[in-house]
Structure 1
Amino acid sequence: MELGLPFETYVEQYKYKYLALYHAIRAAIHSGRLPEGTRLPATRELAKLYGISRGSAAQSYDMLMAEGYVVSRQGSGTYVAEGITVPEQPPPAEAVPLLSAWGRRLVELRDESAEARRSELAPPEGTISFADARMPMEDFPYDEWRSALNYAGGSGGKELSSGAPPEGALELRRAIAGHLRFTRGIQAEPEHIVIFSGSMQGIVLLFQLLLDPGDRAVIEDPGYDGIRRGVSATGGIPLPAPVDASGLVPVDWDARLLVVSPSRQYPTGAVLPLERRRALLNWARTRQAYIIEDDYDSELRWGGKPIEPLKMLDDEGRVIFVGSFSKTMFTGLRIGYAVLPPSLTNAVVRAKSLYDPISPGVLEQRALARFIASGGYGRHLRRMTRRYGARYRTLREAMDAHAGGLFRLRPCDAGLHVYADWLQSPAEYHAFRQAARSRGVLFRDATVYSCTPGPPGACFGFSQLERANIEAGVLRLASAWADMQKNGKPGMMEREYF
């Protein structure tokens, strides 16, 4: 690699080039851009790079060596010396960015769920975390996926140099269309499917296309807070709509857009009844509005009857069905998609082409298409739903036996987490979270998903935990409550677990 120095700037300050080079390297060492132990270029290379004589380059190194900035190692080269005291320097004054209205709205929005996730990163060794809801890679059919990647690259990697249009690889769009027709009853056509780098990229782009500043968009309360922030950043006005045990409660909202997760409400897991689904479609028809159907993890269903998506019931082109493979596959696979009404497809593709003239992750897209077409994806889903169903039942049994006075788990027949209502006082909930952390067990605080104040709740992810860890984690929750009782905080439970 070439050594990048502001050589021309120093040439303007110093009469001789060897002095300019000396000061440029010395400043780079002082600033920390050249840390101790860094190997510097040979004098021949340095001379060629900056258009000076080799003697001038050698003279610069001699001066740096005399002052202890660099050392020469026989047969190895010149290195930045160790133990150099770098003087404290005030940070340079930065210009205040003149952001657009969109930029100002974006930076002013608080991302509470991201803050919560950061607090859960790198927990102490031995911690049992219900805060994480993901597919453990040891459960993933990596050999099948690697085979699909090899196929997607082509013989000798010849397919790696070819791209895909902004809407995504055609073979993946065909595979998604076939999968949705068979498993969800959605009459999807490849030309009306657009691939995104995760479902949220598609949802926010739809906000930009469908909302003018000041337009109202209905969002679920509680609901995924990224939806709320996306509407606000676009300049729209989020209109929180209450969610009960059956999901979103339909009313005649004065709004242009609705975002809903009917097959498995986030975060409560409620399933929207058919009559409410029809009511939402009637609302969209009356208001000439669009509905974004967020189907984030309902494919992982181990119980209950198949759910009819809103998109399946839509006969007027009012519903945009958004799905993701980041939950059903693995978190690092950032592939989402939208099934669009024909009238919206051109606008979405044009907007997508501004961000991605060539669709990113084409190798993964083609591999996923192969994985679906070969039946590997279907087999993977069947294995995972059986496994996650068993883990959920383990969690429910353990909670009922040992922590039933603390949490009431909501009904759940799909997904990677379950929502739980806190049964004690709000003040005790916050104290309990800290006591649980001290006992080495984490869970997700669900209050970050609420727009309006309400009773505390928690999300317990179970997909990544084996039976023994689930049971041990629940016993730690019970012990945390017992710790609070010992410290003078009364509660309903009397036993202690260690």
Structure 2
Amino acid sequence: MNIFKDNPFHPDLNAPLYQQIYTHLRTAILSGELKGGTKLPSTRALADELGVSRNTILNTYRQLTAEGYLESTEGSGTFVARVLPDLLLTPQNHDTPQNHIEPSQPVFSDHARSQMELSRKFVSLPITTTLRLLSPDAPALNAFPYKLWSQLVIKQARYMSEKNYGYQDAAGYRPLREAIAAHVTVSRQVHCTPEQIVIVSGSQGALDLTSRMLLNAGDSVWLEDPGYFGARGAFIGAKAHIVPVPIDREGMIVEEGIARAPKARLAYLTPSHQYPLGVTMSLARRLAILDWAKRADAYLLEDDYDSEYRFAGRPLAALQGLDDAGRVIYIGTFSKVLFPSLRIGYLILPPPLVDSFLTVRRHLDMHAPVLEQAALADFIAEGHFARHLRRMRILYAERRATLLKAVSELPMEMDSPQAGLRCIGWLPEGMDDRAVIRKSVEHGLGILPISGFCIEPLARKGVLIGYGGYKTLEIKDGVRRLKAVLQSM
């Protein structure tokens, strides 16, 4: 197969070689020249053919895999993705009647195309507001004190002054920032003042704003692999060069990140509770990545999701609390601890970044809705938040125990992280996690494939199984359905 006719690449062009090769391959895939399922040459073979280093081809394949254009299978090689959205493919010319005008296809930006292609990495699920059984990370919405919350919202709506209905500070509602600063200082050992906090629309809003502020096209970003899908989407949208960094029992393997991209601009990590594998980053690794960030003049984007729910000992201190050089940007969110539709998260920025972030924020969504911010500030300041967390830790520990007991007879090896709202079921050798997911959808289950979070393939296949949002009978029913799925494979 001759993918590259006449070797059109040249080291003297402005674009790096890997980017030239990336663009050529991506164009060939989108035009249909490279069909879905086509096996590509090995990195070594293609490097020899083009006269470039193997690392150049590795970087190209990794980027295309991260964006969903390629699929890599352990032991089999790298293939063009079999299913691409129709709107990404170049339409073929067809003869049409002279007076018949075909409706034009929407033309989307490269940014939009990359996001839509990335979504294909997960097995397609029908859009529904009904929660499927065993969906990972679903909170116990039926245990939230809605009556109390509605009272706080009504109180704020009634007594807010006229000035609160105009445009507000881009950093967010001041009393909420004060309440968050007090909370994270005690619970997460974060060092901050209210002036360092920016209220955003959930963790995804934090990722989007940070990507806009810190990344130029082609900048390298370390990303945990497997890792959070939303972070990958934000970085692809910024046209960053994503560098997958593998995970082991101590978290992100910092030495591997340095070997792959020593001058990366940014590293995204979930050190307290890695997503999705649930491991905790060791102190040695935390110190190592802080040292690297200081020497490389890079930033660490610490996503501290779900840190409040830990079932053995106290929640671990945040990486930000160890930072003495202003290299850590901290992300927090209330989606899991309260309810997802609240859409309130926050950034804690090193002081030199604050003013610039706020200047750009004013040109985006200005600020989050003030009424909900004000109600949340009261919810925290009056002690309701702390009481809710205590109740939920007990409830989630009970539901976790129910799940682990129920799955004990399934043909899976279970990993049960000491934090978060999900467990991992490792499948028997030879069983494909995506095939399991397709079958599980038919049984009303919401489990997710580990492979959907991977850029480079894992040797083992597994699924994420949630328990937080389900009562005892629902968990047992879900496990019965999962057993039927596994027995049918």
TM-score range, shorter chain: 0.7 to 0.9
Tell me, yes or no, if the aligned pair for 1:300 and 1:414 is still in contact at 8 Å. yes
1:165 maps to which residue? Answer: 169
Tell me, yes or no, if the aligned pair for 2:176 and 2:377 is still in contact at 8 Å. yes
2:135 maps to which residue? Answer: 131
Tell me, yes or no, if the aligned pair for 1:152 and 1:370 is still in contact at 8 Å. no
Indicate how the Cα distance of structure 1 residues 381 and 305 shifts in structure 2: closer, same or farther if over 3 A, else same: closer
- How far apart, CA to CA, are the structure 1 residues paired with 2:207 and 2:446? 30
Indicate how the Cα distance of structure 1 residues 411 and 156 shifts in structure 2: closer, same or farther if over 3 A, else same: closer
Tell me, yes or no, if the aligned pair for 1:163 and 1:362 is still in contact at 8 Å. no
- How far apart, CA to CA, are the structure 1 residues paired with 2:165 and 2:153? 14
- How far apart, CA to CA, are the structure 2 residues paired with 1:462 and 1:114? 25
| Aligned-partner SS, 1:332 | helix
Question: What RMSD, in angstroms, separates the aligned Cα atoms of the two structures?
Answer: 2.5
Q: CA deviation at 1:112?
A: 4.8
2:465 maps to which residue? Answer: 460
1:107 has 2:113 as partner: yes
2:316 maps to which residue? Answer: 307
| Aligned-partner SS, 1:354 | coil
1:338 maps to which residue? Answer: 347
Q: CA deviation at 1:430?
A: 4.3
2:362 maps to which residue? Answer: 353
| Aligned-partner SS, 2:400 | helix
Q: State the one-letter code of the partner of 1:365.
A: Q
1:365 has 2:373 as partner: yes
Q: Out of 247, 250, 264, which is 2:251 matched to?
A: 247
Q: Out of 392, 407, 411, which is 1:399 matched to?
A: 407
- How far apart, CA to CA, are the structure 2 residues paired with 1:302 and 1:410? 14
1:237 has 2:241 as partner: yes
| Aligned-partner SS, 2:363 | helix
Indicate how the Cα distance of structure 1 residues 154 and 336 shifts in structure 2: closer, same or farther if over 3 A, else same: same
Decide which structure has the larger Cα Rg and report it.
1
1:119 has 2:119 as partner: no
Indicate how the Cα distance of structure 1 residues 256 and 187 shifts in structure 2: closer, same or farther if over 3 A, else same: same
1:480 maps to which residue? Answer: 485
2:197 maps to which residue? Answer: 193
Q: CA deviation at 1:338?
A: 0.5
Q: CA deviation at 1:247?
A: 1.4
Q: CA deviation at 1:439?
A: 4.2
**Cα-to-partner distance string for 1:330-386 (whole Å, 9 max, x where unaligned):** 0100111000000111111111111133x2310000110010000011111111111
Task: Kindly indicate whether structure 1 or structure 2 has the higher relative contact order, using CA contacts under 8 Å at least 6 residues apart.
Answer: 2
TM-score for both structures, normalised by structure 1: 0.72
Q: CA deviation at 1:147?
A: 2.0
Tell me, yes or no, if the aligned pair for 1:207 and 1:230 is still in contact at 8 Å. yes
| Aligned-partner SS, 1:173 | helix
**Paired residues for 1:24-103 under 5 Å:** 93-94=103-104, 97=107, 103=109
- How far apart, CA to CA, are the structure 2 residues paired with 1:447 and 1:421? 11
Tell me, yes or no, if the aligned pair for 1:128 and 1:469 is still in contact at 8 Å. no
2:422 maps to which residue? Answer: 417
Q: State the one-letter code of the partner of 1:245.
A: R
Aligned pairs, number: 385
Indicate how the Cα distance of structure 1 residues 287 and 156 shifts in structure 2: closer, same or farther if over 3 A, else same: closer
Indicate how the Cα distance of structure 1 residues 166 and 375 shifts in structure 2: closer, same or farther if over 3 A, else same: same
Q: CA deviation at 1:290?
A: 0.5
Q: State the one-letter code of the partner of 2:368.
A: P
1:374 maps to which residue? Answer: 382
% identical equivalent positions: 32
Q: CA deviation at 1:435?
A: 4.2
- How far apart, CA to CA, are the structure 2 residues paired with 1:440 and 1:189? 46
Bigger drift between 106-115 and 238-247 goes to: 106-115
- How far apart, CA to CA, are the structure 1 residues paired with 2:440 and 2:137? 18
- How far apart, CA to CA, are the structure 2 residues paired with 1:229 and 1:195? 21
Q: CA deviation at 1:481?
A: 3.0
- How far apart, CA to CA, are the structure 1 residues paired with 2:194 and 2:480? 49
Q: Out of 176, 181, 189, which is 2:180 matched to?
A: 176
- How far apart, CA to CA, are the structure 2 residues paired with 1:93 and 1:434? 34
* Structure 2 runs not aligned, ≥5 long: 1-99
Tell me, yes or no, if the aligned pair for 1:181 and 1:188 is still in contact at 8 Å. yes
2:303 maps to which residue? Answer: 294
Indicate how the Cα distance of structure 1 residues 118 and 373 shifts in structure 2: closer, same or farther if over 3 A, else same: farther
- How far apart, CA to CA, are the structure 1 residues paired with 2:121 and 2:141? 25
Structure 1 stretches of 4+ moved >6 Å: none
Q: CA deviation at 1:463?
A: 0.7
Tell me, yes or no, if the aligned pair for 1:389 and 1:413 is still in contact at 8 Å. no
- How far apart, CA to CA, are the structure 2 residues paired with 1:209 and 1:218? 17
